[in-house]
Every structure is written in C-alpha cells, then in structure tokens.
Amino acid sequence: MASLSPLSPLSPAACTEVLDTHCHLHTGSGQSQMVGAGAVSMAVAESDDWDMLAEWLESGPDSAAASASASPWRIGGYGTHPWYATSVVELPSLRVDDLPTDATVSAAVASYIARLGDRLDAAAAAGHTVIVGEIGVDKFRGWHPQAEADGEVPDGYAEMSRNGRNRLAFNIAQKPLFEAQFDLAAARGLPVSIHCVQAGGYLFEFLASASRRGLVPSGVALHSVSLKAGLITSLLAIRGPLADVLFFGLSPAINYSSPRSAKLTDAAIALIPREQVLLESDLEEYEANEQAADYTPLVAALAVAWDATLAEVIAITSANARRWLAGLAPSPVQSC
C-alpha cells in the first residue's frame, strides 16, 4: 500500500504535470495562466461562450504549437451543456398546448448542429485543436441556476413541480440535442466529454446502442463521475468499440465536494480500471491567482487504491488523457 497520506499536499511541481481534461472559461476573462501541462476547456453555451473559447485558443499555444516546447497546451471543447439545451430547443411555455412539435425540435437541433459543425471547421482552419463538449443529460436540472434566479424561465414554470418541468426539458430538449452532438463527434472522429446527472440508465442504454451500431466518438469521457457502483459495472461491461475508448473523469471540485460524493467516488475508484481514469479540475476560471485546482484528495485516494506514488498516479492519468484525446494532445516534453 502506498505510504502517502491523503492529506499530503501535492507539490507545485507535481501539479504542473497534470493534464486537466475538463475546465471552463465561461465565468472568467479568458486570459489563461494555466496550472498544469495542458487543459481541455469546455464551452457550455453557443452565444458568448463559443467566442470566448475561440479567443482563448487564439491567445495561447494549442497542442501542435506546444508539442515543441514546455508551454502548457490548449484544446477547446465546443458544444452545449444540458442546462442550456432549452436555448437551442426553445420552450417559451411549459403548457401542454404550447410545447414544440417533433418537427420543430428536429429543425432546431439540425440548425444548431450545422452551426456547431461550422465552428469546428473554423477552429480546424485556424489550426486549433478541438473536441465536442461539454454535452450531456441532467434530470436534476433542466435550466441553468442563474436563469432560475433571474426569472428567465418559461410560462407555466412556477405551476409545475420541479420533477415535472425538468422531465420536460430532459425529454424535449436535452436528449435530442445530446444525441445529435454525440453523433456529430462520432462522424468527425472527435473525442467527447459527457455530463450526466440522474440519467445514468438512459445514458447506459444510449451508449450500449451506439456501440452496437459502431458509431462512437474517438474518445468518450464521462465528466466528474458520480454514478452508483452497479451502473459503473454495467458501463464497463458494454462491448464493441466503446469499450476501447471509454474513460471516467474525476475532479476534486465535484467528487470530493461532500461526504456523499466522496463515498460514491471511493466506491467508483475501486471499480474503474486505472487505465480509464482521467483527472479534471472543473474550474470555471483558469487564472492561477484566483483559483487553483487542489488535486490532493483525489490523487492521494487514487494512490492508495492503486498502491502507487503521487507521481505514478499523475503519469498514469496523463497517459490516459492522451489516449482519450486520440492523438490530439502533444507527446510529453522531456526536460533535463
């Protein structure tokens, strides 16, 4: 068993070797002063978020430029988070007679996928490295918390139960948008990062079906996994091409945010093969003087479970990140 205590802090030097496979810029300035060796920053909404991500990619070395230096590299994730799905498939009213038709939903999703494809093309033409994310499904929350706080919600919202209105958002907006974005990533051979909250059964069925059809992205990362042990076991049992490209992201910000989350995470660590674990910060602003990911509890827990040193955990998860990114990340830079 590793001798390192879960309370032993990671050194700054160790943190610089971490490959952060999931962070955000959408609440920050976009001026990145990165903590690790590289980061994949996810957009969550089309509007200003996509433009901010483009500026971030333009202002620093992408994976190709960073491969010849020790500079931290950048990869961008373009997509729409499930909390913002109703900005694509609009639900101005939750009253039964006012809900969008299947044809309206299909047209909205198709138009969005065309715009997302154009954005991916523009990024590639500019020499930037991109994936599809953050996408996914969330039965717990159908709208972004700020929209709820600001009252920017559909007509009839207050008259429905939380479960009822979230179910509508899940079925009408989140599912079709997630599936279309997933399929686009598969068609383009790009990795994808997936958010899933209280929708594990649906996600399992969808991923199993996609694997049977042979239509999966080049890498599939489940973001900040907080799934029950039985569901993780089921996901790991899926056969076909998904089995070779499925990864489970873990972040200290989410996975150790409460005793319950920590308990689920510790159970997950015992089940997930070490070759399929990714490190994430899930920070919403990547400025070192404002926020810094403390990977200590997560990396220490992995070290104990794997009977490994902290350095070995970082090396293993960094190698996993490069496999998830399917060649998009640069090879490690050797230093003296």
Cα distances (Å, whole numbers) of residue 305 to 157, 175, 263:
45, 35, 14
Cα 240 to chain centroid distance, Å, stands at: 22
List, in order, residues 6 or more apart from 60 with CB less than 8 Å away: 32, 34, 71, 72, 74
Spatial contact of 265 and 276, defined as CB atoms under 8 Å apart: no
Query: Would the pLDDT of 66 be above 60?
Result: no
DSSP conformation class of 327: T
Bigger pLDDT: 58 vs 211: 211
Distance from C-alpha of 209 to C-alpha of 215, rounded to nearest angstrom? 9
**Band of the pLDDT at 16, cuts 50, 70, 90?**
low
Range scoring the smallest mean pLDDT among 96-105, 124-133, 214-223, 286-295: 286-295
pTM, whole model, 2 decimals? 0.89
- pLDDT in the model for residue 2: 37
Tokens of 3: 């001798």
Distance from C-alpha of 303 to C-alpha of 284, rounded to nearest angstrom? 26
- pLDDT in the model for residue 59: 80
- Smallest Cα–Cα separation from 70: which of 29, 17, 118, 116? 17
Q: What is the pLDDT of residues 144-196, one digit of tens each?
A: 888 888 888 899 998 999 999 999 999 999 999 999 999 999 999 999 999 99
Domain ranges of the chain: 16-324
What's the order of all strands across the beta sheet hosting 219-222? Answer: 19-24, 38-42, 73-78, 130-138, 191-197, 219-222, 246-250, 277-279
CATH 3.20.20.140 for the 16-324 domain, yes or no: yes
- pLDDT in the model for residue 330: 67
Tokens of 124: 């590639």
Distance from C-alpha of 171 to C-alpha of 142, rounded to nearest angstrom? 10
- pLDDT in the model for residue 74: 85
